A and B are shown apart, each in its own frame.
Chain A
């Protein structure tokens, strides 16, 4: 078994573009759940509208990338308002139901044949990142240290996405240390107390939902640019649950929790994946065949989610007392 090779692959995936994109989406989820206590089980819906903002503007209408990004952010705001206005006045469970259902409903709509002229149906849109790659300052080739290398387009995506993550973390930090952030955390701790102070809790929750959604949409934009193509079926609900597992692993309600969660989880996932693949090739896995390893990984994420909540709700760097909040 090529242990070193597995380790290299795992590290590559832990710091690679995908981990950065997930970190960006988790920052949005952290805004919702970690700080405000909102149960958003449909973050993938924000990623979907974000990716398709670019896909439709660039892929269908041939508009410049900047218009696409603006459209993505606009779509995310509209989606957040659409889901937030009916549910945020109610108990948290209504938002949870609404988000998980709307995210999956959106996927059905985007992949439907009647939408093919606009979204490309199940085939999605291709060749989206020409404008983005023109800006790539790295000449073609591979860059990196030792065996951990990235191709020039990947490096460019990585640099941009990790910078976005860094900036987003700084934004979150400054937001959460502002008066606004204290109200938001107050809502998580005790909504009624905040309401009795004369704050309009509904508006604050709505703002939180919109901001977190915009981060999700940016992650979607980066997915479109990273892959240069988008298909609706990559935005399955499982993505949201991955985000949740990573957020809880890193530590919800912490500025760096999303980043740590994403990096550590991608390392673990790739490591188990590669190890299982190696074991499978050696014939040591009697019950599982090669094609089922993906399913085993999903099941593993489910298990991690359960175990984390039960035994370590604060994750790696969180504050346990903060995370024992109840439904608002």
Chain B
């Protein structure tokens, strides 16, 4: 075998040399008839792409024309021929939210010498002004907060802002706090990823985009949902109605009547949503606060209400179920529970305590459940192999991400309630109230999820299925149903993680994908398939990513998280909390 390997190796080397030789010996043969085509193209980076920026191209002082960037920040301009050109970016066409930023010196393009057939790529990039002459905020606002918003410019997570003069221990404490907040956000989002892997053995590459979905839904409903929000709600309500009709009338009606009924509801929903989207417009604009006008966690009462109202609704629904069990048919109980949940939600929204967060979480859970019920479950029933399911999930991720991009556009935004918050000092640490609120909510939710997994029947069943699907099935657990619950839970948690990440940093159509990389590191560190491992791993990855910025450039944050993942795979592939088994 050694010998065979060496021979093959020699052969490969020989062939590679042949490949290189081919590069020098290619044949030619055609007739010249006209000039080559030269273009200027490029992209506008914030460094996130910006759409709608105009670039004017000059030859000497003659204006040749203007190119406009698309949603990926890409633009292209076809030149008349080789020569020297000048490309000027029209600063008036830059959107407002980046207009305060300066063009990076050296990024302006004069004297472009274009040879025959060149396709020159130009990059304009914006950066925050060095000398801080940005428009001052009102006296109550802290400038750090504005700076922090704009430091988002770098892709991925934001660097923690630290006072350079502070002693190292203070800096460490500050950065560690930021890391903890970030880690908790990762933990919330990755619990679902890990549980989904545990129950279905499938890595959900679309999980990051479920995170984005949650963040964007909360944004939609907190900035005033016009036609688009109503359409989306309409679609979800129609789908929920269709599914509900199917569940409730499964035994009462024959499929020949039930299926058209469901179809009709869906079609009505889609038509209605489209009509609302086209004609509803601004007239039907309504606005749900993300959680009170000054933003989540601005007062203790506000924070308590946000946590308590959903808990109260859930408790009400569960108690009703318990009390009525055995006295009524299951379908009646279900509809009573559904009605109660809806009433509770309506009351919460009217009171302004739940708002956009819960809508986003509910929609996220519905998205997760819908994906399991209408994509993954049918595929598993068709015996599609796991390797194919991975590819499907990549496709779903691509689809979801770009549908969201088309719907919401490529710009970065933040929740209006959180533009500015006063910092709170706790000893050496200064922290925004919203970060405290994120920590509070994240810890509460994680504890609640842990309790659910540890003490309730459903939670135990989830862990059982996650541990060994076949054994769980043979001991009488309805594995399909539990998997559906896991997806629902995972979707809801992903959406919540998205909202929290959006509050912590910024809302953007690629935020979920960037978070997904850290989530992967987290679940592998903690152990694929274990919920508690994902929580632990998430916090660890958040801390490591942020603490690394004390010594290394903050652009390497992700790289450090990935390095930890690779080291973990080398020394303990089952992860911190995983059970040792042969995984190869």
Contacts and interface: CB of A to CB of B under 8 A. Distances in A.
Nearest to A37: B387
Contacts of B261: none
A102 interface: yes
Interface string A137-154: 111111110000101111
Contacts of A286: 278
A292 B1 CA distance: 54
A279 interface: no
A85 B566 CA distance: 10
A295 B35 contact: no
Nearest to A290: B70
Interface in B397-427: 397-403, 405-406, 410
Contacts of B30: 138, 143-144, 155
Interface stretch (A56-64, A230-238, A254-262): A230-238
Interface stretch (B10-18, B216-224, B244-252): B10-18
B555 A97 contact: no
A171 B17 CA distance: 12
B395 A303 contact: yes
Contacts of A322: none
A309 B121 contact: no
A164 interface: yes
Contacts of B565: 97-98, 101
Contacts of B528: 93
Nearest to A328: B387
Interface string B20-48: 10111011101111111100000101010
A295 B553 contact: no
Given A113-B555, A159-B28, A291 B68 contact: yes
A187 interface: no
Contact of B116 (A82, A152, A167, A304): A152
A6 interface: no
Interface stretch (B286-294, B323-331, B556-564): B556-564
Interface string B264-282: 0000000000000010000
A122 B47 contact: yes
A171 B13 CA distance: 11
A155 B27 CA distance: 11
Contacts of B116: 140, 151-153
A324 B22 CA distance: 36
Interface string B547-584: 00000010110110010011001100100000000011
Contacts of B26: 137, 156, 159-160, 163
Contacts of A37: 387
A99 to B, nearest CB: 11
Interface string B353-380: 0000000000000000000000000010
Interface string A100-141: 111011001101111000000011101000000001011111
B553 A39 contact: no
Contacts, number: 282
B110 interface: no
Contact of A122 (B4, B125, B584): B125
Contacts of A137: 26, 28
B205 interface: yes
Contacts of B172: none
A298 B583 CA distance: 34
A90 interface: yes
A295 B72 contact: yes
B427 to A, nearest CB: 32
A39 B386 CA distance: 11
B198 interface: no
A209 B517 CA distance: 21
Interface in A64-118: 66, 69, 73, 82, 85-87, 89-94, 96-98, 100-102, 104-105, 108-109, 111-114
A152 B31 CA distance: 10
A139 B117 CA distance: 12
Nearest to B562: A105
A236 B85 CA distance: 29
Nearest to A306: B395
Shortest beta-carbon contacts, A-B, top 4: A141-B32, A302-B398, A305-B395, A151-B36
Interface of A: 37, 39, 41, 66, 69, 73, 82, 85-87, 89-94, 96-98, 100-102, 104-105, 108-109, 111-114, 122-124, 126, 135, 137-144, 149, 151-156, 159-160, 163-164, 167-168, 171, 174-175, 178-180, 198-200, 203, 207, 211, 214, 218, 227-229, 231, 233, 237-238, 241, 244-245, 248, 286-288, 290-296, 298-299, 301-306, 309-310, 313, 324-327
Given A126-B121, A137-B28, A299-B401, 14 more contacts: A69-B23, A86-B566, A108-B558, A122-B47, A142-B32, A155-B30, A207-B5, A295-B71, A295-B72, A296-B406, A299-B403, A302-B399, A324-B388, A327-B387
6 contacts: A124-B121, A126-B120, A138-B28, A154-B36, A299-B398, A309-B392
